Structure 1
Amino acid sequence: MARVVMQAVVSVDGYIAHPDDTVGPLFDWYGNGDTELSAGASGWTFHVSRTSAAYVQPFWDAVKVTVIGRHLFDTTNGWDGKPGAGDELVVVTHRPLPEEWLADHPEAPFHTADSVEAGVALAKKLAGDGLVCVTAGNLGGQAFSAGLVDEVAMDVVPVVLGEGVRFFGDHAATVLLDDPDQVVQGDRVLHLHYTVRR
């Protein structure tokens, strides 16, 4: 059965982006090392510290399906039809994807669902026994509050943004996590992994 992890790069004060959706220094660590990190189907490559690569690469390789919201789809132009991680992508949206985008990306392994619950269920079906990654923010917060998230992974960058898009969005409920089972110090990033208590 697929596991569901909510993941993002996050500031020390809990933000995954500025109010205008830019990430500022949050992604600087993706280019501060000499070890290549590959994001699979997207073709993106980064150069991070050896320690970060040893943690992140197996995580990205385990992701089979990513679930995102419509806002992130629109902000990134659907990553030009290539999932950032995994083989397939589910967009939670109440509107059809733009016809022009679909025409430009006929081979995109993208699916849509009209609710967070339906999106996670579809992603789990597509992932088999692999990993489903739900992006943080309002979508992730909704999935977390609904009890659909099994694990939380944070790449914490030593910066305080002061305001912006919160890791758990506006939907997080009080939920206990186990102690972190992975704490990995990279260069200008701390990788944390938690399991949600059941």
Structure 2
Amino acid sequence: MGTVIMHNVVSVDGFIADRDDDVGPLHEWYFNGDTPITGGGDQPYDHSGTGSRFRVSRASAPYVRSMWKSIGTIVMGRHLFDLVNGWEGQPPAGDHVVVVSHRPKPEGWHPEASYHFVDDVTAAIGTARELAGDRTVAVNAGEVGGQILMAGLVDEVAMDVVPVVFGSGKRYFGGIDGQHLLEDPHVVIQGEGVLHLKFRVRR
């Protein structure tokens, strides 16, 4: 089974978006560098819905490239799915998406896309691992990510920390309760406008 990694870009005070779901400058480092992130066949990843090509700093590129290449399945909440319309059936990384939702997939929505709607976080991770095989399951941070962490199903926490303070908004760990111990970071990479950190979840 692959590793389950909770991941997101985040402000230094722990927010992944403001109250209106605006990410502000959080994702600017994805587009301000000089090094493209390449996908299969050396084709640049193209984030569906924006048409923008990802270009990051030379320090960030190997980390991001390796991370994205390892992903087999993305797990996201219904709120994010609705917000980005499921990336129009083309996730930025991986081959499969599992959406945690009590509502089914919209009728007629991209029937060719490997998107699976599951109404329980434990079942969602089970489905995601099955689809991913030996590859990574990437869990989007936020409310659903926090629930999956609380359920003890996250192996690592990955944060791309951007030097901005939001003050309020949508929290990286959602409404998580209690303390959850992490190991010291085993990845610390300083990019341009971003600090990449990875922590293993202490068992």
Q: TM-score range by the shorter chain?
A: over 0.9
2:130 pairs with one of 125, 130, 142: 125
CA gap 1:29/1:39 in 2 versus in 1, 3 angstroms? farther
Instruction: Indicate the residue corresponding to 1:60 in structure 2.
Output: 68
Q: Match of 1:22?
A: 22
The one-letter code of the counterpart of 1:94 is H
Counterpart selection for 1:155 from 160, 173, 179:
160
Structure 1 counterpart of 2:189:
184
The aligned counterpart of 2:201 is 196
Per-residue CA deviations over 1:26-79 (Å, capped at 9, x if unaligned) read 011111111002466963331110111111110000000000010000000110
Report which stretch shifted further, 179-188 or 167-176. 167-176
Pick closer, same or farther for the CA change 1:76–1:63 going to 2, 3 Å: same
Tell me by how many angstroms 1:171 deviates: 2.2
State how far apart, in whole Å, the 1-side matches of 2:134 and 2:161 are.
Answer: 28
Cα 1:138–1:155 change in 2 (3 A) is same
CA RMSD, 1 decimal: 1.4
Note if contact 2:46-2:54 (Cα within 8 Å) is conserved in structure 1. no
Larger helix percent: 1
> Equivalents in 2 of 1:16, 1:193: separation in Å?
16
Task: Work out which of the residue numbers 90, 97, 106 in structure 1 matches 2:98.
Answer: 90
The 3 A distance-change label for structure 1 pair 39 and 118 is farther
Alignment TM-score, normalising by the size of structure 1:
0.94
- CA–CA separation in structure 1 for the residues paired with 2:65 and 2:184: 22
Measure the CA separation in 1 of the matches of 2:114 and 2:105: 13
How far off its partner does 1:173 sit? 3.3
In structure 2, the partner of 1:35 is: 35
Count of matched residue pairs: 195
CA distance in 1 between partners of 2:23 and 2:145 (Å)? 17
Q: Deviations over 1:155-198 (max 9, x none)?
A: 00000011100000002431111100010000010000010111
Q: 2-side partners of 1:87 and 1:108: how far apart?
A: 9
Normalized against structure 2, the TM-score is what?
A: 0.92
Distance 1:83 1:31 in 2: 17
| Long gaps (5+) in structure 1 | none
Whole-Å separation in 2 of the counterparts to 1:27 and 1:74: 19
Report sequence identity in percent: 56
